[in-house]
Amino acid sequence: MTVDAQVTLTSTSPTFDPQVLADLRDRLDRTRRPTGPDEDWARGVPGAWLDDLLADWRDFDVPALQERLSRARHLRADIDGRGVHVVIAEGRGPDPLPLLLCNGWPSSFLEYLDALPLLTDPGAHGGDPSDAFTVIAPALPGFGLSDAPPPGGLGQAQVARLWHDLMSVGFGHQRYVAHGSDLGAGIVMQLARAQPDAVAGIHLATPGLPLPPRPWTDAEAAYARAVDSWTAAEGSYAHQHATKPNTAAAALQDSPAGLAAWVAEKVVAWSPQTDTGDTTFPRDVLLATLTLYWATGTIGTSMLPYWNFGHGGRELPDPRQRPAVPTAITNFGGERIPLPPAPRDLAERYVQVSDWHEYDRGGHFPAACEPQLFAETLRAVFRPARGNISSADAPP
């Protein structure tokens, strides 16, 4: 743990300001969107699709969302003066395994709500009670209900230190496991690298991995070409986040239609589609995510990890120093626009791969799109870790 880390936990209950919600509805009623032929996803979000989304957002049942949130346990963690929102769900089983969940962009802890019962109480959902987890899902700094990071953002290693202090000092877990996707995958890799004695295992969902200096294997060379092609065609959002986040935030925080288009276009692109052409990312989770970003005013601060990464905060793993932490990697697939999956050749350079699976469903947000598959995956990959964590490691 960080030397002399101070962590305090207090109960909280998420609420949304009624005046902010009333203003949101008024702005949605007065939406001005571009005219002209715009029904092709190749040019971004189609106008008719966006109109339907905005109409659904206008009628979204926020009180029902707040009632659902009230059924979960929410804490505010003060970690050396930095406020972090945390959702905790206690496991129901003979010896629940502490599990940290770390999401990415454009997501939030809301992505995990459907999966929580499957993870915490597998016995009630067709699974083995001995696979139960106690789940701790903190909101990234600057995301939703957590405090904003410094103006330049926080690096992955800095967030990893926060999460370790939260788990070890805040909750008293001296051994635990962790899952990360998107930005969260990089944070969890840093967590395992910095705390190999505490982290009994990690799981990464469709991680993006950096290329080492040449020579490359054939699979790594193919991955490099795919990443270059994808970045040229699909990476403009990340370049904007990494170069001029305040400019984008000024527009998105003032326009619900702009926010919805910016976030939803990526959600649709990175999620599988149903037979009818709809996205498998649940509509209510998308609307809840938009509401969370809007009501908390955090779309701008959610971009800062990209800024930090591009301005001196890039902390690449050293292939010569692989952490002695079992690492399971699952490439969930089926996205409308697939992100290039890293090959196993590349992953083996950075981590000790203990499990490798590839699926044609789940996409970039597997906990939301395929909660059953997500939960079954975590149950399976972390079973070996349970033998390395005894009840003596749990808090009193």
| pLDDT tens profile 362-389 | 999 999 999 999 999 999 999 999 987 7
Domain borders along the chain are 45-390
Q: What is the pLDDT of residue 390?
A: 52
What single-letter DSSP state applies at residue 92? Answer: -
Q: Is 203 helix (H, G, I), strand (E, B) or coil?
A: strand
CB atoms within 10 A of CB 22: 10
What is the residue-wise DSSP string for 106-142?
T--GGGGTTTHHHHH-GGGGTS-GGG-EEEEEEPPTT
Q: Which of 257, 255, 282, 249 has the alpha carbon at shortest distance from 366?
A: 282
pLDDT-based confidence at residue 395 (cuts at 50, 70, 90): very low
In CATH, the number for domain 45-390 is 3.40.50.1820
- Inform me whether the pLDDT recorded for 394 exceeds 60: no
Q: Which residues does 180 contact at the CB level (< 8 Å), separation at least 6?
A: 101, 102, 103, 104, 186, 187, 188, 189, 202, 203, 204, 205, 207
> pLDDT tens across 67-100, in order?
999 999 999 999 999 999 999 999 999 999 999 9
Q: How far apart are CA 98 and CA 280, in angstroms?
A: 29
Q: Percent of the chain having pLDDT more than 90?
A: 86
Q: What is the pLDDT of residue 391?
A: 45
Q: What is the pLDDT of residue 321?
A: 78
Say what the pTM is: 0.95
Q: Tell me the CA distances in angstroms from 116 to 79, 101, 105, 122, 128, one per residue in order.
A: 24, 10, 20, 10, 15
Q: What is the pLDDT of residue 33?
A: 83
Helix (H) or strand (E) holding 205: strand 199-205
- Inform me whether the pLDDT recorded for 37 exceeds 90: no
> pLDDT tens across 326-347, in order?
999 999 999 999 999 999 999 9
Q: Mean pLDDT score of the chain, rounded to an integer?
A: 94
- Inform me whether the pLDDT recorded for 393 exceeds 80: no
Ramachandran sector of residue 172 (left: φ over 0; alpha: ψ -120 to 50; beta: rest)? left
Q: How far apart are CA 231 and CA 271, in angstroms?
A: 18
- Inform me whether the pLDDT recorded for 396 exceeds 50: no
Q: What is the pLDDT of residue 314?
A: 67
pLDDT-based confidence at residue 277 (cuts at 50, 70, 90): confident
> pLDDT tens across 133-161, in order?
999 999 999 999 999 999 999 999 999 99
Q: Is 95 helix (H, G, I), strand (E, B) or coil?
A: coil
Token pair of 110 as six digits: 């809301």
